[in-house]
Amino acid sequence: MENFKAIILSVFSGILTFVLLWICSVFYKKVFLPWIETILYRGILIGGRWSSYHKHNIDNEYEMNLDIRQTAYNVEGEFFAKSIHPQSKISDINYYKFKGEIINDYLVVNYKITSREKMGLGAFVLKIDEGGEILKGNIAYVNESNMSITTLSNVKFKRP
């Protein structure tokens, strides 16, 4: 009987130790490290909403919004894109989630669509310009209509 109690107590204490170490690890990674990185980070802060209107060619216009959350050099958030076809008056609206980072005054981001009913992914490389008031650069993405890789050049995002 004593051996059985010792085994149960050992198993219970092992599980309790694992849970406490896991909680400490999550706290360290999710709370403490982002907090200390934000304190030590001396780069530009670009968090917030950014908007763009881009005319790709005669057939396509794009209205886009970025909602950026920043922790030091890491960024994540939501990306809204509305493609407008002026001649046919058809528009397509998509929502994306993105993750990326700021590297040498460039915002480098990968995004993918939030809906599981559609396909869509892409990447931004945007230069932080004009004292942090403009993000300008290129977007490469998979065109959902014909599944080809397409680029948008000279895209400019501004704070509203």
**What pLDDT tens digit does each residue of the chain (160 aa) get?**
788 888 888 998 999 999 999 999 999 988 888 888 778 778 888 999 999 988 767 677 888 999 999 988 999 999 998 887 766 666 788 899 999 999 999 999 999 999 888 888 999 999 999 988 999 999 999 877 778 898 888 999 999 8
Q: What is the per-residue pLDDT for 15?
A: 93
Q: Which two tokens stand for residue 140?
A: 């490469």
Cβ proximity of 140 and 149 under 8 Å: yes
Distance CA 114, CA 119 (A): 9
pLDDT at 112: 94
Q: What is the pLDDT of residue 117?
A: 83
Cα 152 to chain centroid, rounded: 19
Q: How far is CA 108 from CA 18, 73, 88, in A?
A: 37, 10, 34
Beta-ladder partners of 55 = 61
Cα distances (Å, whole numbers) of residue 57 to 83, 84, 116, 143? 12, 11, 29, 15
Residue in the block written with tokens 């670009």: 46
Instruction: Give CA–CA dist 154/127, Å, rounded.
Output: 11
Q: Is the dihedral of CA 105, 79, 84, 148 positive or negative?
A: positive
What number of residues does the chain have?
Answer: 160
Query: Would you state the pLDDT for residue 80?
Result: 92
What tokens does 33 get? Answer: 């490290």
pLDDT in tens, 27-54: 998 888 888 877 877 888 899 999 998 8
